[in-house]
Amino acid sequence: MIVTTEAASEKKPVEDQSLESVAIRFVGDSGDGMQLTGGQFTTTSALFGNDISTFPDFPAEIRAPRGTTYGVSGFQVQFSSTDIHTPGDIVNAMVVMNPAAFKTNIADVEAGGIVIVNEDEFTKNNFKKCGYPEGYNPLEDEQFQGDYKIIPVPMSRLTRESLADSGMGTKDIDRCRNMFALGIVYWLYDRSIDPTVKFLTDTFAKVKNKPEVAEINIKALKSGYYFGETAELFPVRYRVAPAKLKKGKYRKISGSEATALGFVTAAAKAGKTLTYSGYPITPASELIHHLSRLKHFGVRTFQAEDEIAAICATIAASFAGDFAITGTSGPGIALKSEGIGLAMMYELPMVIVDVQRAGPATGMPTKTEQADLLQCMFGRTSESPVIIVAPQSPSDCFEMAIEAFRLSVRAMCPCIYLSDGYIANGAEPWLLPDLDAIEPIKIEHPTVTNNPDGPYLPYQRDPETLARPWAIPGTPGLEHRVGGLEKQDVTGNVSYDPDNHENMIKTRALKIQKLADIIPPLTVLGPEQGDVLLLGWGGTYGSITTAGNRLRDMGHSVATAHLRYINPFPKNLGEVLSAYRTVIIPEINMGQLRLLIRDRFMVDAIGINYMKGKGYMVQDLVNETLAIMNR
Amino acid sequence: MPDTALPTLKAKDFTSDQDVRWCPGCGDYAVLTAVRKVLPNLGRRKEDIVFVSGIGCAARFPYYIDTYGMHTIHGRAPAFATGLKVSNPDLDVWIVTGDGDLLSIGGNHTMHIMRRNVDINIILLNNKIYGLTKGQYSPTSELGKKTKSTPMGSIDYPINPLSLAVGSHCTFIARSIDIDVKHLNVVMLEAAKHRGTSFLEVYQDCNIFNHKAWFYATQKETKAETTFMLEHGKPMIFGADANKGLRFKGGSLEVVEFGEGTGVTVDDLAHHDETDRNLAFTLSQLAYPDFPEPMGVIYRNEKLESYERMLHNQIDEAIEKKGVGDLHALLHEGDTWIVDDEE
């Protein structure tokens, strides 16, 4: 729908320009509602039919002092008429709510890009707070004026004026500035305001029972939209046509949501109940938020007293027969490592979610990284292998959450689901899956003893998978004990026998490797053999894939492949690696996958390693790859 | 019709095929015997019982009981027990633990399982020493305790397990003695019947590294003077001649003689009230040699709902309100759009 005003008819029509894709960033103070604003623009664009990819970027401080640079919160979304995989390297348009946001973000805007500024916040006092020198106003800086299309709008004043009759206080009115800004942007990109009007009505009027708050926000949104239309600030209006996506029904989904839905689906496909135990930690807490709302699916959520309690409760829930999950980030994995080792020793299925963040130690909790790979692979006492899968995008989380359980129950071994903040917080369109097409997960809990003449044998293995039976309390005749002491194979009794110990270590590793028989082979995008393979894993999928496309468009022999299964690797990985002259592994770490690949396949892989707390710029990947190729 | 009648079980039905490997003369044997005797009297099926332990001598317990069992991680048994009950509230879950396991490395989990009132039983085998690691002082060791790690004496003030339990809102708190088999059985049965977290401290003798630590309270010659038996509604009396008692003076208790010629009658003595939390704390603080130490049920509160029941009630309530979750509807909820054109 297009909102029209009477005033509009008096104006000369603005020029329309079509663009393939636009990356827009909303930046302001933590309290300015930038995440909500960006989220709304994303939903509206998705509903319009664009492909989308988002990057929310916010500080760990909940409300840092207003106006400071460390309190700046941002949300970037790329919306496109073509298939895209990243939120965009360069920002085409930016909405800036205060000088601190301007200072920290302006460098990311493309030359000639649009910068819409709330000029009311560009005050002496605020310049001082964000550390601009006295007497300096960036809006008057000739260099900025030359580099960008800076459009100052008195948003605070206009919002107040438009809501002067609302009877609401200044504080409530000022909170609507973000909607005024969103209105302007909706006009500029020819978007309907309807989805946001519906959202505001649903959220404030229906759920929170504050219709007056919904009303002023809607009015501010409309005022911004009309302002864009009538103020003649923009000579051009931009259109980004719907993307040609695969046929079907879509919704916008974040990685955290998709993970939660995947787990619920996995449980349903197995006829099991989900039990999630976790301790609050950024950026993994979203998962317990989503799952705790799904009690009518029988989902049990337990907020434990600490990370250790959460893994222990998860192990116990698995022993009791549930699909058990715990979720955390790197520091939590460190705390859980003893528990994960025990779970591996018990040989029980469960999923441990690691939403990686920038470390080490507390690091940068709201920023992303891929540096927990080796911790997850090896970070336990002795030989303690576990299964590792890694989703590659927000929507892929759904499938990989199901895969995590499928593999875990098949091998009776814990599975680490290695996600990251970029995937968990990012959002993209999701083609809704056909539930009937998802394979059931077969679970067998024994009901009769495997040893009628003596005690039950809890470690008598399936000859094909080497998995032990999953006998659960409540089953008569199958009483048995599990423990962290080394156990005799078959009987499960405590054993210090040297040969048995070596056999058990090898068996626990082998049953994971046997999973390679059922996981899909690694697929390659681009030439099946050639000069370069860009190999990645996790949240870098979008950047690597886009970089590969770009390099091929430039005529280079470059393929890309992304590992979603890390332990075990897909069976054909060695073959794929050997088909290229150079293997390059971009990772947001010092080269952890590279270390595994070099060790396992003796391939002299080269790393492109960034550790900046955010994803790769596609152009950087392209340049680095070219530099390696030209060596 | 399924057979729902409970089988008649005996102590030997709960005896696993594993050899017990504690040191000869260890107090743990008596507790193991008591547990095997109590279990058949609970009206529970064997397959519904799970024994959970952490690490330590006491933690070998599950291997010796023929039920389901988990020998877990040092200090973490309460977290495992909570997970079991969250998954399956119908299980009868027991934690057998030691003073190092429960009160040192596992102190955090102890506090939280108690405040949540998870319906499980904790048996603390308190021997005031680290036995499995061969004789370091524990969090219940007395100040000045000379051990391998404290040759000049421990400088840690000890923790009081019962006071910790009261402070953590544990809903059943009791104490007994390893060699007083009869009393141990009675109290353990009470603990097992309690709906909510039950906590039973057992004075247990480590005859290798801390022998005789509890002798003042456990030996025939002295126990009448150093301990007293609590009975709900009854006066607090002790002494070989049963002529001493505890009387309230202000907010605290004092030792008095009563009876003829003392000017104190039995009615003047403090009477035990298992439901009084303040009294429970006062009792938990009574310590030898200034006071006789209370044995039996110190506190009992049957009124609080357990954590796992409330958790499952919320699930029932959610299903009642929203109906059983529809996966297809869940996936398709919120704003969706259709793409018609093929790529």
Sequence ranges of the domains in chain A: 5-239, 251-437, 444-518, 524-629
Read off φ and ψ for residue A237, nearest 5 degrees: -115, 135
- The structural architecture, per CATH, of the domain A524-629 is 3-Layer(aba) Sandwich (3.40)
Residue B152 lies in a domain: yes
**pLDDT single digits (tens) A469-480:** 999 999 999 999
pLDDT of residue B3: 58
pLDDT of residue A235: 83
Closest residue in A to B85 (Cα–Cα): A317
Q: Is the pLDDT of residue A2 over 50?
A: no
Query: Which CATH superfamily hosts domain A251-437?
Result: Thiamin diphosphate (ThDP)-binding fold, Pyr/PP domains (3.40.50.970)
Token pair, residue B19, equals: 């050899």
Residue B82 lies in a domain: yes
Distance CA A299, CA A322 (A): 10
What residues of chain B lie within 8 A of the CB of A304, using their CB?
Answer: 79, 82, 112
Residue B97 lies in a domain: yes
What residues of chain A lie within 8 A of the CB of B45, using their CB?
Answer: 476
Q: Is the pLDDT of residue A565 over 80?
A: yes
Distance CA A221, CA A197 (A): 8
**pLDDT single digits (tens) A297-341:** 999 999 999 999 999 999 999 999 999 999 999 999 999 999 999
Residue B165 lies in a domain: yes
pTM above 0.90, yes or no: yes
* Residue B68: exposure state from Cβ atoms within 10 A (0-12, 13-18, ≥19): buried
Residue B271 lies in a domain: no
Token pair, residue A43, equals: 């939903």
Question: What is the end-to-end Cα distance of chain A in Å, rounded?
Answer: 54
- Nearest by CB to residue A322, choosing from B80, B87, B109, is B87
Distance CA B255, CA A368 (A): 65
**pLDDT single digits (tens) A401-412:** 999 999 999 999
Q: How many domains does chain B have?
A: 1
Q: Residue type for B75, please?
A: G
Residue B248 lies in a domain: no
pLDDT of residue A291: 98
Residue B300 lies in a domain: no
Q: Is the pLDDT of residue A13 over 70?
A: no
> From the CA of A444, how many Å to the nearest CA of chain B?
18
What is the distance of C-alpha B220 from the center of its chain?
25
Distance CA A186, CA A179 (A): 10
What kind and span of H or E run contains B215?
A: helix B215-218
Distance CA B15, CA A80 (A): 69
> Which CATH number is B182's domain given?
3.40.50.970
Q: Using only C-alpha atoms, what is the Rg of chain A?
A: 27
Task: Answer whether A251 sits within 8 Å of B335, measured CB to CB.
Answer: yes
DSSP for B301-343? ---SPPHHHHHHHHHHHHHHHH-S--HHHHHT-SSEEEE-S--
pLDDT of residue B341: 67
Higher per-residue confidence, B198 vs B8: B198
DSSP for A459-492? BPPPTTT-PPP---TT-TT---EEESS-B-TBT-
Distance CA A561, CA A572 (A): 12
Distance CA B105, CA B118 (A): 20
pLDDT band at A1 (very low <50, low <70, confident <90, very high): very low
Task: Answer whether A246 sits within 8 Å of B339, measured CB to CB.
Answer: yes
Mean pLDDT to the nearest integer, B225-252 = 97
Distance CA A354, CA A359 (A): 13
**Average pLDDT over chain B, rounded to whole?**
95
pLDDT band at A3 (very low <50, low <70, confident <90, very high): very low
- The structural architecture, per CATH, of the domain A5-239 is 3-Layer(aba) Sandwich (3.40)
> In a mutagenesis test of the A interface, which of B20, B66, B80, B342 is the best target, namely the one with the most A β-carbons within 10 Å?
B80
- Nearest by CB to residue A315, choosing from B83, B111, B339, is B83
**pLDDT single digits (tens) B116-171:** 999 999 999 999 999 999 999 999 999 999 999 999 999 999 999 999 999 999 99
Token pair, residue A446, equals: 């024994």
> In a mutagenesis test of the A interface, which of B68, B316, B320 is the best target, namely the one with the most A β-carbons within 10 Å?
B68
Q: Is the pLDDT of residue A9 over 80?
A: no
Q: Is the pLDDT of residue A234 over 90?
A: no
Largest CA distance in chain A: 95
Residue B109 lies in a domain: yes
pLDDT of residue A6: 39
What residues of chain A lie within 8 A of the CB of B313, using their CB?
Answer: none
Task: Answer whether B82 sits within 8 Å of A247, measured CB to CB.
Answer: no
Helix runs in A514-558, H state only: 541-553
Please indicate whether the domains covering A5-239 and A524-629 agree at the CATH topology level. no
> In a mutagenesis test of the A interface, which of B335, B340, B342 is the best target, namely the one with the most A β-carbons within 10 Å?
B335
Read off φ and ψ for residue B44, nearest 5 degrees: -115, 150
CB atoms within 10 A of CB A207: 9
pLDDT band at A421 (very low <50, low <70, confident <90, very high): very high
Q: CB–CB of A541/A391 below 8 Å? A: no
Read off φ and ψ for residue A103, nearest 5 degrees: -60, -40
Mean pLDDT to the nearest integer, A352-376 = 96
Query: Reduced to 3 states, what is the DSSP secondary structure of residue A155?
Result: helix
**pLDDT single digits (tens) A248-298:** 999 999 999 999 999 999 999 999 999 999 999 999 999 999 999 999 999
> From the CA of B217, how many Å to the nearest CA of chain A?
35
Q: CB–CB of A116/A41 below 8 Å? A: no
pLDDT of residue A60: 80
**pLDDT single digits (tens) B66-82:** 999 999 999 999 999 99
> From the CA of A282, how many Å to the nearest CA of chain B?
22
**pLDDT single digits (tens) A495-533:** 999 999 999 999 999 999 999 999 999 999 999 999 999
* Residue A298: exposure state from Cβ atoms within 10 A (0-12, 13-18, ≥19): buried
What residues of chain A lie within 8 A of the CB of B341, using their CB?
Answer: 244, 247
Strands (E) across A81-161 are located at 91-96, 109-118, 149-153
Peptide bond into A463 cis (omega under 30): no
Give residue B104's domain range: 11-213
pLDDT band at A11 (very low <50, low <70, confident <90, very high): low
Token pair, residue A249, equals: 């029904």
**pLDDT single digits (tens) A424-481:** 999 999 999 999 999 999 999 999 999 999 999 999 999 999 999 999 999 999 999 9
